[in-house]
Structure 1
Amino acid sequence: AAVPFKGADSIEKIVQRQLPAMRLKNITDIIQSGQKQPINDLLKAHELIRRGIALEEVTLNGNRSELIKANSSNNLLTYLLALVAFLIISVTFLQQFFLRRKSMWLEGFLESILNTTQNGVVYYRAVRKENKIIDFKMEYANQAIDSLLGVDPKKIIGKKLTQIDSYILKTDIFSRFKEVVESGEPMRFEHFYQHHGIEKWLYLSITKLHDGITVAFHNIADIKRYEEELKKNITELEQTNLELEEYAYAASHDLQEPLRKIRTFGGFLQDTQYEKLDEKGRLHIDKILQSTERMSLLIKDLLSYSSLKQKDEFVPTDLNEILENVLQDLEMIIAQKKAIISHDGLPEIEAIPVQINQLFYNLVNNALKFSKDDLPLHLDISCRTVNSDEIKDVPGLQPSTLYYEIIFSDNGIGFNQSYAHQIFGLFKRLNDKSSYAGSGIGLSLCKKVVTNHGGIITANGKEGIGAQFYIYLPVPVKPVFVAPPVLQ
């Protein structure tokens, strides 16, 4: 009688133990994960089956033909299992081979991109002790750091900052590195690099990546040099403008005395000799006196323009009160022109009162000067609060800022809109000086006042229809409007 094979129970236990795992997990995954026990168990079960299947079958059936058949079936199963195992291993090997090739290609592609850029790119991994960052280890650096910092990347990759040099540790850069890792918030800043005989301005961008940081930086020396040159030019320009203003003020002041003498003697000739002269002589005296009058007005406006300073003190200023004072000053000419001037409630703002007075005076006087001979002037002054989105077509306004929009709108002779950008220039005149008095400085003075208050002034006009002047002043506080009466 055949001796029963003692390994049958162990085969069943091994197969029962590993079959659920094999059903739930792909064999390829098991091989790749390095879990050897399931495969070893199955191979062991296979060996036990191969050695004991025939004896077990003889014991059960006592039939030699069945034993031969069992052996034949067992051999076929063995070959099939071996073939399956070979295919699995082959497929796994090919997958790993192609994945490695693809990974190497991607790494090489990324490396070529990083080495092509002129920006330095570095990756540091945080080094911790008792969960506190005490250092950083350089895991990657591209070739650009050689030209930017004078450091060979091959010599420092894999080293800690304390092993490379102490420059970063001595500056605030190290604390910034730690802050980015701990907070997760990116950081960008400028830094003046002084090390290894190299001095240059760098712009750094730091971003957290895993338990470390990626640092990208580039040379901004040219930008800083341009900034310094620009600051120098601005300073020189401001100094030149100051000197020109001082010269204009002094020259205008000094010109008043000889001009007074010309006017005095011209007036004397007109009073004593006018009737004795022929028509040509009288014309000469009239031209002298007219020229001195225009010269006097020009000098007065030059003195006003030169005396405008942005450094004057800003105080709470009621624009209604300023406007009422201006209208009283111009009361006679308003009556002569039979002008109707109306205005909404104007706000109280932080301003330089004397300059706002000059602004309103010039704009009202400008409307009176350029009114029509056959139609009474109607000047409307309105004000509203607007945001930059409502007036986005106006150049020079700051985004997300509230503005007072003050509009002076008249029905005078107007002007061609194509000249709108010229009328605020010094000595710019659109009309014949013989028909309309003035020095050509009034609107330039208006622009300077508005600029001193951080605002913008623009103009719209239509010939024969009228003109509108728009003043935009930033809103510092909530406006308080006072309703005034209509002045006729």
Structure 2
Amino acid sequence: MDFREILSSTKSYKIALVVAVALLLLLSSISYRQINNMRKSSDLVSASLMVDREVNNLFSKFSLIEAAEYRSLLVNDSTFSEVYKKHKRETEISFLNLLELTKDLPEQVQYLDTIGQWRDSLDLSINKLNKYRGLLEDDIEAKVMVEVSKMASIFLKLNTLRTGMSKRKEALFKQRMVDYKTETFFTPFISLLLMLFSILVFWLAFRKINNSRKELAGTQSFVENIITNSNNLINYFEPVRDDKGKVIDFIFKYSNSKIEDITGVPVENILGTRLTASFPETITNGLFDMYVKCIETGESNDLTRRYIFNDTEVWLKSLVSKLEEGVNVTTSDVTQEKGKTDDLKKLNDTLFLKNTVLNNAEVIAKIGSFTRYSEMGTTDMSDNLYRLIGCEPGEFKPDFENYMTFVHPEDVQEIEKSLVKNLESKEIFETSYRVFTKNGKLRHFKSATLMIVENGNKKMVGVVQDITQSVKKDKKLERKNKALIRTNDELASFNRVVSHDLQEPLRKIQMFISLLSETERTNLSDKGVTFFDKIDDSAGRMQLLIKNLLTYSRIDDSHEDFQEIDLNKKLEKVEDNLSERIKESNISIVKKNLPIINGIPFQMEQLFNNLLSNAIKYRSKTEKAKILIDVTTVHKDQIPLPYKKPAKNYHKIIISDNGIGFDQENAEKIFEIFERLHQKNEYSGTGVGLAICKKIVDNHHGFIHATSELGKGTTFYIYLPL
């Protein structure tokens, strides 16, 4: 590795710093110990000098006591007692000082103990001498001389002890001086070495700090350039507090140029202002409270809010973090992201709704779906496909083998063949088969599958439908169709009977009635004539009923006879057929030009005939009768009937009269066969005419209904597809 790289390495600097600090601590410790030893040596030398002084002082006091005692003996000085007491106190003080100064010197302490003993002996002798002073006894002289001898011996012992202490003191002083000189020699050298090493460490530290300062200046310039040119708005706020220390506002201390791009306000107009004054909306949108919380707890947080700047909606996301005593806020414009997020949310909601609708549709329609990846050998099954075979979603692994265990054994081979064909086909392939559900019920399924290629991989998608009810209905319908065929055959036989076998005896009855009327009518009584007329009338009604029944039964929904029909010509023919009744009733007909349609001519003629006949029959007795025929074109949504309307537009034919009318609650009943709203003695009829009209309109895929009011007439609405 390059040596310069080692020097520039942060790790190397850390190691060097640790080593330098360790060496400084070591040298400082050595220097401190040297200085401390030198101080101790100095203190010991000083203590030796003080001991020497106190020893001299102590023994000088003993010398003064000795001189004063001899003086008092020679000149009989009476003041010796006071002088002795003074010197005794001074010796005690000096003795105590020596004990304190020599407490760490056992030999000197031993000397002092001995001195103390002799001092006590001296005190005892002096006290005896003082007692003898002034006595006249014969042997006083001898006693005084004995005590004086003792005193001389004590002073001699004390001088001997002084000599011993002085020798020991001088030897100790010499040793301490040697130690002191040694310490004074090494201490400056260690201090100099410590100073030089400190200078070296400080120089290296200064060099590193200076280099770091240059790097920091470059980094600051780089960071400032990034902040200035950042796409994010960066602000720093200092809190404004009240007398109680509560944050009441924030001051803009820093903001980059992005604030002008977002808000339109220059940076210089923002700095130094209060947040609530420049952007009062921060109080209500939660941003101000988040700043306060960040100041109080130190927790970082983010908030996205909507703003209006220069009549433009802007969504800003603010990241708030505490920095020293203020808050640093990094704000980014997330308007586009917000729009994309909203669109994605709407898309997800729509997708969720579609999936929900699809799942519900599968349940309602009794269908399931699957996807089989043939190359990977995996299969996905919808939840409802599980339910169709009586299982819970995900109850077993959704693969082909597990699903085939539910298929009827007789249909397994057929399904396998269909799968092989489906792999070779690009079209939808349908298969019907049977399955046994989990609880053993037999169900009929129908599947539609398609092989597709996605990203180069083949996969089969399929829909499975439970057609059990449909199969049952088909079988039931088949039985009903057979029954209907039999009924139609029977009805055809009935028509033949009605058209021939019933009408033949009826014609004979009418013929014999006619013969009797010609030959025997004059021979009948009035009552007989009445009965005869009723028989004749009943025979006529019977013939009309048979005719109407034949007409009704012959109207079917076959379109083989459909052709273009000019309804105007059909209406003219009906008017011509009813001309006598129209003239007799003095009824006027007002009509518009009718359209040309596709239909069966005789049925449309029958329709107009029945409706006009009805209008003539039930005409008003109090005012001139009239019939209005109108026509227009309408959209299917304009037809007020709850039926399925296959065509987009319809001809609306209106036939209205001012006849007797009927109660509107019977508007549906009048189109039912054999339904009559009046007694047969009031109005003739069979109750089949309007039923025929409805059947004709139905046969032409149209609709008919009526509105009426008693005494005000009736209006029929006929809708025929264009």
Superposed displacement of residue 251, structure 1: 2.1
Q: Percent identity?
A: 32
Residues 1:233 and 2:449 are matched in the alignment: no
Question: What CA RMSD, in Å, does the superposition of the two structures yield over aligned residues?
Answer: 4.4
Residues 1:154 and 2:401 are matched in the alignment: no
Residue in 2 that maps onto 1:274: 521
SS at match of 1:154: coil
Residue in 2 that maps onto 1:387: 635
Q: Distance in 2 between matches of 1:146 and 1:167?
A: 26
Q: Distance in 2 between matches of 1:305 and 1:124?
A: 57
Q: Distance in 2 between matches of 1:345 and 1:245?
A: 39
* Farther-moved stretch of structure 1 (140-149 vs 291-300): 140-149
Q: Distance in 2 between matches of 1:344 and 1:423?
A: 26
Q: Distance in 2 between matches of 1:338 and 1:292?
A: 29
Aligned residue among 202, 206, 231 for 2:446: 202
Question: Is contact 1:121-1:142 (8 Å) kept?
Answer: yes
Superposed displacement of residue 234, structure 1: 4.8
Residue in 2 that maps onto 1:329: 577
SS at match of 1:389: helix
User: What per-residue deviation string (whole Å, max 9, x for no partner) do you get for residues 144-180 of structure 1?
Assistant: 5597499995383899x9xx9954532448746xx7x
* Farther-moved stretch of structure 1 (357-366 vs 140-149): 140-149
Superposed displacement of residue 410, structure 1: 0.7
SS at match of 1:280: helix
Residues 1:64 and 2:201 are matched in the alignment: yes
Question: Is contact 1:388-1:397 (8 Å) kept?
Answer: no
Residue in 2 that maps onto 1:470: 717
Aligned residue among 45, 50, 61 for 2:11: 50
Aligned residue among 507, 511, 516 for 1:260: 507
Question: Is contact 1:205-1:216 (8 Å) kept?
Answer: yes
Q: Distance in 2 between matches of 1:327 and 1:423?
A: 24
* Farther-moved stretch of structure 1 (428-437 vs 49-58): 49-58
- Distance change in 2, residues 1:295/1:157 (3 Å): closer
Question: Is contact 2:379-2:398 (8 Å) kept?
Answer: no
Residue in 1 that maps onto 2:697: 450
Q: Which amino acid aligns with 2:397?
A: K
* Farther-moved stretch of structure 1 (413-422 vs 309-318): 309-318
Q: Which amino acid aligns with 1:346?
A: L
Q: Which amino acid aligns with 2:576?
A: Q
Q: Distance in 2 between matches of 1:329 and 1:442?
A: 17
User: What per-residue deviation string (whole Å, max 9, x for no partner) do you get for residues 227-269 of structure 1?
Assistant: 4423542553365245325413422432222112222222222
Question: Is contact 2:435-2:445 (8 Å) kept?
Answer: no
Superposed displacement of residue 386, structure 1: 1.1
Question: Is contact 2:567-2:595 (8 Å) kept?
Answer: yes
User: What per-residue deviation string (whole Å, max 9, x for no partner) do you get for residues 350-401 of structure 1?
Assistant: 111111111111111111111122322211111111111111x213241562
Superposed displacement of residue 204, structure 1: 5.3
Superposed displacement of residue 440, structure 1: 1.5
- Distance change in 2, residues 1:280/1:4 (3 Å): closer
TM-score by length of 1: 0.64
Compare the two structures and name the one with the higher helix fraction. Answer: 2
Residues 1:294 and 2:292 are matched in the alignment: no
* Farther-moved stretch of structure 1 (237-246 vs 455-464): 237-246
Q: Distance in 2 between matches of 1:415 and 1:149?
A: 58
- Distance change in 2, residues 1:239/1:174 (3 Å): farther
SS at match of 1:317: strand
Residues 1:418 and 2:668 are matched in the alignment: no
Superposed displacement of residue 270, structure 1: 2.3
Q: Which amino acid aligns with 1:277?
A: L
Q: Distance in 1 between matches of 2:602 and 2:423?
A: 51
- Distance change in 2, residues 1:282/1:120 (3 Å): closer
Superposed displacement of residue 407, structure 1: 1.3
Unaligned residue ranges in structure 2 (runs of 5+): 21-197, 209-354, 405-412
- Distance change in 2, residues 1:243/1:384 (3 Å): farther
Q: Distance in 2 between matches of 1:154 and 1:430?
A: 69
Q: Which amino acid aligns with 1:202?
A: K
Aligned residue among 380, 388, 398 for 1:140: 380
Q: Distance in 2 between matches of 1:223 and 1:66?
A: 100
- Distance change in 2, residues 1:204/1:309 (3 Å): closer
Which of the two has higher C-alpha Rg?
2
Superposed displacement of residue 441, structure 1: 1.3
Question: Is contact 1:382-1:408 (8 Å) kept?
Answer: yes
Q: Which amino acid aligns with 1:237?
A: L
Unaligned residue ranges in structure 1 (runs of 5+): 12-47, 71-109, 128-134, 180-186, 476-488
Question: Is contact 1:141-1:153 (8 Å) kept?
Answer: no
Residues 1:357 and 2:494 are matched in the alignment: no
Question: Is contact 1:202-1:221 (8 Å) kept?
Answer: no
- Distance change in 2, residues 1:280/1:206 (3 Å): same
- Distance change in 2, residues 1:346/1:238 (3 Å): farther
Q: Which amino acid aligns with 2:638?
A: E
Q: Distance in 2 between matches of 1:419 and 1:360?
A: 21
Superposed displacement of residue 308, structure 1: 2.6
Q: Which amino acid aligns with 2:378?
A: M
Within 5 Å, give how 1:60-139 maps onto structure 2.
Answer: 63-64=200-201, 120-125=368-373, 135=375, 137-139=377-379
Question: Is contact 2:422-2:450 (8 Å) kept?
Answer: no
Question: Is contact 1:424-1:447 (8 Å) kept?
Answer: yes
Residue in 1 that maps onto 2:467: 220
Instruction: Determine which structure has greater relative contact order: mean sequence separation of CA pairs < 8 Å that are 6+ residues apart, divided by chain length.
Output: 1
Q: Which amino acid aligns with 1:420?
A: A
